[in-house]
Amino acid sequence: MSGDDDTDGSGGLKVFINYRRDDTGGEARLVYDRLAQHFGSKNVFLDVVSIESGMQWLEQLKLQGRSCGAFLALIGRDWTPSMKARARARVVEPIDDYVKVEIETALRRRPAVTVIPVLIGDSTDPPPADELPRSISSLVELQAERVRLDYLDQDVARLIERLERIPEEGPEPPAERPAQHSRRFVPRVVPDVDPAHYEEVLGYMVEEGSVVPLLGSRVNAESSGEQSLPDADQLAADLAQRFDFDGSPNDLAAVAQYVFVTRGSPFLYKTLKQILAVDADASPVHHFFARFPKTLEQLGLPKRYQMIVTTNYDNALECAFDRENEPYDLAVYMASGPDRGKFVHFPYDGAPEAVSVPNHYGKFPIDDYGDLDRTVIIKIHGAVDGNMGDYRWKENYIITEDQYIDYLSTRPTESLVPVQILEKLRGSHCLFLGYNVHDWNLRVFLKRIWRDVAIDAQSWAVERSPDVLEDRFWRRFGVGVIPSGLHDYVSALSASLGPRAETPAEP
């Protein structure tokens, strides 16, 4: 089957060719010529051919990128160096990398569009994921095709066969990540909670974007998967058993302090990494928030994004967002390394930056009214060993008694927490999920942010079976207690979203 300008031989498929001119400019034209000969030039987009004089080239790029069914990302040997050079140039002079923007757009549209990396040449390898911006790192998880100049017709013919199958098979599903991050949950309604509560919370989330979820360690323990990360009590008990601790095995800060003092920091941090840096199941809570923006869009509601604060060290929340191809900024408190004592901002699109002057830093995607342009995840007590691009951290925990005391008392909150984050927290409804009132990290957090006084905006804590102590503790901070398991709670929130689509809020 072949096509020309007047014949649609694509089966309705539109193909977009993405490339870097200083990497595969010549090869892109060769690929285009063969695809256009087969499918018809109207069905294949290459900027230097398809954008005619008088057209607004940027608008055409956006339009064609949004409407295509197949997106080919051509990658040559200079693809990664070219991208890095452009990123470095942005530091001196603002410059947009439209190639990267096109890829980001295509990845977010999956599975409606099939994204295919095309390696140009015999010796071109897929770029390492840790050298890519987080916004396009999932590109390397996709099955690639290869086009070699010495076998150009043969390789393009194979690519054409692949493209021809797309209209018949439908678009490819998202690349399978490890099974532990792909679990779904069935919505359930909790009979003991007034349905009006869910409507109230969703009203603040959907209409105002004024709810800040705060995730504690029990969020992990309520995972419905086969392998879950430990909560604070389970982690403390594990450490206590490994290092023969004689005190309370449920006090994580005390157990960590004991290991730190008696065995040394290397033993503590190595063990924490072994326990926490594993491929574990993301929980229903993680999945709910990762899907929330797209869920609103699918329901025809205005998109809203959350600022999510977590005291957990693992990366299960980030993995849930990555799986959904949902953009987010990340802020991590650094308890070690050259930026010790500071938050480091990892933008969705851009280089990491240490927040040296918190009360003047304004680069998070949060406007003056507290509205977010995309999700922001805040890890306030450090994170398990990891990296974002070239920025790496290790032994980065606030976990021992001494560390919590130093974290609480060394300097004013305003000189520690970036002002946009602090203002958003203090001006929002807080939703505490997965906290134990005995946890040091909760007590430190409440004292740090609210100075041991009640939270101004109506807020809630979800506790499966709160006792008298827990109820009194939360009420002291002006927080209402919702008697529900976390899985049941987010399931009920999810189930309550549907009816809101019938009467969408005004944008």
Q: Rounded to whole angstroms, how far apart are CA atoms 106 and 109?
A: 5
Sign of the CA dihedral running 214, 422, 295, 13: negative
The backbone region for 54, taken as left when phi is positive above 0, alpha when psi lies in -120 to 50, beta otherwise, is left
Q: Rounded to whole angstroms, how far apart are CA atoms 315 and 219?
A: 12
DSSP 8-state assignment for residue 331:
E
Percent of the chain residues past pLDDT 70, beyond the cut: 83
Mean pLDDT of 390-415: 84
- For residue 332, what pLDDT band results from cuts at 50, 70 and 90? very high
Q: Rounded to whole angstroms, how far apart are CA atoms 185 and 493?
A: 12
Please check whether residue 492 is in contact with residue 187, taking contact to mean a CB–CB distance below 8 angstroms: yes
Q: Which fold has domain 15-169?
A: Rossmann fold (3.40.50)
Strands (DSSP E) contained in 76-177 are 114-120, 145-147
What six digits make up the tokens of 141? 């998880």
Q: Average pLDDT, whole number, for the chain? A: 83
- For residue 388, what pLDDT band results from cuts at 50, 70 and 90? confident
Q: What is the pTM of this model?
A: 0.73
Q: Rounded to whole angstroms, how far apart are CA atoms 267 and 273?
A: 10
Please check whether residue 364 is in contact with residue 357, taking contact to mean a CB–CB distance below 8 angstroms: no
What confidence score (pLDDT) does residue 7 get? 47
CA triplet 484, 303, 195: central angle to 5 degrees? 25
- For residue 132, what pLDDT band results from cuts at 50, 70 and 90? confident
Burial track 490-506 (b if 16+ CB lie within 10 A, e otherwise): bbbbbebbeebeeeeee
Q: Say yes or no to pLDDT of 2 above 60.
A: no
Which regions of the chain carry the CATH code 3.40.50.10140?
Answer: 15-169
- The DSSP code sequence of 303-318 is P---EEEE---S-HHH
What radius of gyration do the chain's Cα atoms show? 25
What confidence score (pLDDT) does residue 233 get? 86
Task: Name every residue whose Cβ is closer than 8 Å to that of residue 179 and which is 6 or more positions away in sequence.
Answer: none
Please check whether residue 34 is in contact with residue 153, taking contact to mean a CB–CB distance below 8 angstroms: yes
Name the CA dihedral angle for 322, 324, 330, 335, rounded to a multiple of 10 degrees.
-50
Q: Rounded to whole angstroms, how far apart are CA atoms 170 and 108?
A: 17
Q: Which of 35-44, 86-95, 329-338 has the lowest mean pLDDT?
A: 86-95
Q: Say yes or no to pLDDT of 353 above 60.
A: yes
Percent of the chain residues past pLDDT 90, beyond the cut: 45
What confidence score (pLDDT) does residue 250 get? 77
- Work out the number of other CB atoms within 10 angstroms of the CB of residue 142: 17
**pLDDT tens profile 215-267:** 998 898 665 555 678 888 889 899 999 999 887 777 888 999 999 999 999 99
What confidence score (pLDDT) does residue 177 get? 44
Sign of the CA dihedral running 429, 435, 438, 441: negative
What confidence score (pLDDT) does residue 170 get? 61
**Between 374 and 408, whose confidence is greater?**
374
Classify burial at 453, counting beta carbons within 10 Å of its beta carbon; exposed 0-12, middle 13-18, buried 19 or more.
exposed
Classify burial at 125, counting beta carbons within 10 Å of its beta carbon; exposed 0-12, middle 13-18, buried 19 or more.
exposed
Q: Hey, is 463 helix, strand or coil?
A: strand
The backbone region for 451, taken as left when phi is positive above 0, alpha when psi lies in -120 to 50, beta otherwise, is left
